[in-house]
Amino acid sequence: MKSLAVILLAAGLTGCATAPGPSRVVHSEGPVHETTLANGLKVIVREDHRAPVVVSQVWYKVGGSYEYDGVTGISHVLEHMMFKGTPNHPPGQFSRIIAEHGGRENAFTAQDYTAYFQQLEKSRLPIAFELEADRMRHLTLDPQEAARELQVVMEERRLRTDDNPQALTWEAFSAAAWQVSPYRHPIIGWMNDIENLGVDDLRRWYQTWYAPNNATLVVVGDVEPQKVFELAERHYGPLKPSTITPAKPRIEPPQRGERRIVVKAPAELPYLIMGYKVPTLKTADEDWKPYALEVLGGVLDGGRSARLPRELVRGGQIAASISAGYTLTARLGDLFSFGGTPAQGHDVASLEAAIKAQIEKLKTEPVSSEELARIKAQVTASKVYELDSVFYQAMQIGVLETVGLDWRLLEQYPQRIAAVTPEQIMAVAREFFIADNLTVAVLDPQPLDGAAPRAPAGGAYRH
């Protein structure tokens, strides 16, 4: 590290716009520079000169939450197929070329986005751009390759979900909590939907969503922004835009009463999930509320001194493990969720009661100044720690852009967190953490050996 150039982030926000080429307008704030190509591709570059490496990520505005009944999982299957070749690059060649250049590459699909990335020594960036631009518009989608890849995805679903009782419970929980919102479907898709996907479905999905004007290119690393913009123009510039029809809103109607489900699966341990519907940065009626919920999440589960590990794991010893939180940056309304395993001698009912007692406390007692100070200190420190990863820096920008927020929110985040008051935390707890807005899912363990269910062991182990 010693011999590397040292450039710390410029502290001030130096909002400026320059027009280096005949048509390109670049917006810059500190180390981040943004432009949009004529075909609509947004390009965001963040300089980080710590090491001679670069990460390139292409983010598409499509994912599980863009899907509808019958084709669930299609975004994720298409992500797999993106490695199966174009007329210029036969199947497997993409990965081989990146590997030969010492690169790492992969892709991921979530509810609100599908993203592809390459990490490389900085001089190899053109290789990534050439290959990634090629598959943005020229995917082959061969029927035989698709048939085989669908088998791979079914194995992936068995591995991640079908053979994992807690994952099965989360899947059923989401499907119960949401009736209209597309978050009711699993990202990987229902097995029967995967089994019935065809190459024509995939081609339609590709044509609908894969276009430069539905994508964001994020580059972070030891690069010069102008050169990256020129390179992007060369490789991505010639691609034709599409007419993108936005997904329907599919807003969840208000919940009118608590929902409870039970999932029976072979398992040793019971498991409890509770979720309250809450707004996000995208959907909140007042923009302080998501930040208040974020701080509330920190009060409950931000470090070993937070309330859930302190009161439920160590203090009352009701939980063997417990976590809580939500996705501030979800594109649609989200669930503030709790997931936990009861400690020995306790059942899911006592765990639920203990969580609800913590919620009541949040509604009635202001959070202490020490707790708020701790959360502020953690946010301040994590703003430095996250700079240890160029990948994470790119990821944050990509998520915000792709859900329709602005990467400049990243800079505001510490101030917004610091501005949250104890009264605001009480207010969001009272507004959203109410019984009519709650969904509860319980994993009811069935014998792993296929025998008849055992009587509850040790008094209260199984509920």
Partner 1 sequence: MSLVTRKFLVIITLCWSGIAAALPQIEHWQTGNGARVYFVAAHELPMVDVQVVFDAGSARDAVPGTASLTARLLPEGAGDLNANAIAERFDALGASSGSSAGRDNASVSLRSLTDPALLQPALETLALVLRAPTFPAAAFERERNRALVALRAQEQNPGALADRAFYQALYGQHPYAQATLGTAQSVTALKRADLLTHYRHYFTARNAIVVIVGDLQRDAAAAVAETVVGRLPGGSVPPPLPAVAPATGGKAHVAHPSSQTHILVGQPVLRRGDPDYFALYVGNHILGGSGLVSRISDEVREKRGLAYSAYSYFMPMRQAGPFQMGVQTKNESATEALQVLRATLERYRAEGPTTEELIAAKKNITGGFPLNIDSNSDIAGYLAMIAFYDLPLDYLDRFIDQVNAVSAEQIRDAFQRRVDPERLVTVTVGNGK
Q: Which is nearer to partner 1, 35 or 119 (CB)?
A: 119
Q: Which of residues 143-162 bind partner 1 (CB under 8 A)?
A: 147-156, 158-160, 162
The contacts of residue 297 (CB under 8 Å, 6+ apart) are 324, 325, 326, 336
Q: Which is nearer to partner 1, 232 or 335 (CB)?
A: 335
Residue 378 makes contact with partner 1 by CB under 8 A:
yes
Residue 405 makes contact with partner 1 by CB under 8 A:
no
The contacts of residue 32 (CB under 8 Å, 6+ apart) are 44, 45, 46, 47, 397, 407
Structure tokens that stand for 463 in this block: 């509920």
Structure tokens that stand for 258 in this block: 């608590």
- In the set 187, 281, 332, 335, which binds partner 1 (CB under 8 A)? 187
Q: Which of residues 62-121 bind partner 1 (CB under 8 A)?
A: 76, 79-80, 83, 91-92, 95-96, 99-104, 106-111, 119-121
- In the three-class reduction of DSSP (H, G, I as helix; E, B as strand; rest coil), residue 156 is classed as helix
Residue 182 makes contact with partner 1 by CB under 8 A:
no
The contacts of residue 314 (CB under 8 Å, 6+ apart) are none
Catalytic residue among 34, 67, 79, 401: 79
Residue 43 makes contact with partner 1 by CB under 8 A:
no
Residue 262 makes contact with partner 1 by CB under 8 A:
no
Residue 413 makes contact with partner 1 by CB under 8 A:
no
Q: Long-range contacts: 247-254, Cβ < 8 Å, 24+? A: 247/65, 247/66, 250/180, 250/181, 250/182, 250/332, 251/180, 251/181, 251/332, 251/333, 252/178, 252/179, 252/180, 252/181, 252/277, 252/332, 252/333, 253/179, 253/180
Give dist(CA 232, CA 235) in Å, integer: 5
Residue 359 makes contact with partner 1 by CB under 8 A:
no
Residue 435 makes contact with partner 1 by CB under 8 A:
no
Residue 382 makes contact with partner 1 by CB under 8 A:
yes
Q: Which residue in this structure is represented by tokens 């976590």?
A: 323
How many residues of this chain bind partner 1 (CB under 8 A)? 92
79 assigned to active site: yes
Residue 370 makes contact with partner 1 by CB under 8 A:
yes
Q: Which is nearer to partner 1, 150 or 239 (CB)?
A: 150
Least separation in angstroms between CB 303 and partner 1 = 4
Give the catalytic positions in this structure. 79
